[in-house]
């Protein structure tokens, strides 16, 4: 007997519930982040990636790969962040075609101000709604989805 090629109605309901829940959480986290820190979720992603580096800088192509964006999206967004003083772009010493994105003092301060309220919201909207066993199940599910296992 051949495997069914389309999801069943119950599987589709689970899928829709999953997608709608993730979108609602992302929307609420984004609204809170913007209201409390004046940073967009995209700003926060860039600042987080740069903050995670010991020297607080990444080549723009590495930044794009780290946050999972197309290079053109990164370039446009970095221009907006640069105008706000959150980052600066320096020429790459080893490659004249590339740029190094550097976290500025202002960007670092904005990230620090946003971090505690954002992490508090993550706890409230996600972590506190699940018990330890459920969190472990979510961990297993996300690992399986990431690796395709």
Query: Which pLDDT tens digit goes with each residue over 10-61?
Result: 999 999 999 999 999 999 999 999 999 999 999 999 999 999 999 999 999 9
Q: What is the pLDDT of residues 78-116, one digit of tens each?
A: 999 999 999 999 988 777 677 899 999 999 999 999 999
Q: What angle do CA 36, 42, 108 make, to 5 degrees?
A: 65
The answer to whether 39 and 47 have CB atoms below 8 angstroms apart is yes
> Which residues neighbour 41 within 8 Å (Cβ) at sequence distance 6 or greater?
26, 29, 30, 33
The answer to whether 138 and 53 have CB atoms below 8 angstroms apart is no
Q: What pTM does this model have?
A: 0.86
58 SS3 class:
strand
């Amino acid at each position: 007997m051949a495997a069914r090629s389309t999801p069943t109605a119950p599987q589709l309901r689970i899928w829709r519930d999953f997608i709608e829940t993730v979108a609602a959480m992302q929307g609420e986290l984004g609204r809170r982040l913007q209201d409390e820190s004046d940073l967009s979720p995209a700003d926060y992603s860039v600042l987080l990636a740069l903050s995670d580096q010991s020297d607080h800088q990444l080549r723009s192509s590495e930044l794009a790969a780290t946050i999972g964006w197309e290079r053109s999206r990164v370039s446009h967004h970095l221009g907006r962040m640069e105008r706000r003083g959150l980052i600066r772009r320096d020429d790459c010493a080893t490659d004249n075609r590339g740029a190094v994105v550097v976290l500025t003092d202002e960007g670092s301060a904005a990230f620090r101000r946003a971090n505690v309220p954002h992490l508090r919201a993550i706890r409230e909207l996600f972590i506190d709604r699940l018990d330890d066993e459920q969190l472990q199940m979510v961990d297993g599910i996300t690992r399986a989805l990431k690796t395709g296992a």
